[in-house]
Amino acid sequence: AQKVTQAQTEISVVEKEDVTLDCVYETRDTTYYLFWYKQPPSGELVFLIRRNSFDEQNEISGRYSWNFQKSTSSFNFTITASQVVDSAVYFCALSEPEKAAGNKLTFGGGTRVLVKP
């Protein structure tokens, strides 16, 4: 079974629109971490945000915000007022330290975001 599912393969928006990326995860661990990474055309994955399983408080960081709901195993990510530079592939990832005895990220399939001017 896929542990991290990103149902949206591609999203296209016009600049200044908000875009929300969905992520559903699967784990039996009580302690786990969720991440969002951005992969621009250059290929380098860039860390955006991290959340641990004990903290469901949703936050806003600049134009980024996230909605973590353990009840539905979802960790959605929103870019507010999108810009052309936000065009990239976004990956949701899961870390299960108890199972993997260390840092091992399991990635979803990614969602390509295209922001048109």
Partner 1 sequence: EAGVVQSPRYKIIEKKQPVAFWCNPISGHNTLYWYRQNLGQGPELLIRYENEEAVDDSQLPKDRFSAERLKGVDSTLKIQPAELGDSAVYLCASSYDSLGTGELFFGEGSRLTVL
**Contacts with partner 1, residue ranges (CB under 8 A):** 4, 33, 35, 37, 42-47, 50, 52, 91, 93, 95-97, 100-110
Cα-to-chain-centroid distance, residue 109: 11
Q: Which residues in 42-57 are b (16+ Cβ under 10 Å) and which e?
A: eeebeebbebebeeee
Whichever of 2 and 18 has its CB closer to partner 1, that residue is: 2
Task: Please check whether residue 19 is in contact with residue 78, taking contact to mean a CB–CB distance below 8 angstroms.
Answer: yes
Say which DSSP state 80 is in. Answer: S
**Residues facing 10 on adjacent strands:** 112
Q: Least Å distance between CB 80 and partner 1?
A: 22
- Residue placing its CB nearer to partner 1 in the complex, 30 or 42: 42
Q: Which two tokens stand for residue 104?
A: 């091992």
Instruction: Provide, rounded to whole angstroms, the least separation between the CB of residue 81 and partner 1.
Output: 25
Question: 33 or 64, CB closer to partner 1?
Answer: 33
17 vs 74, beta carbon nearer partner 1:
74
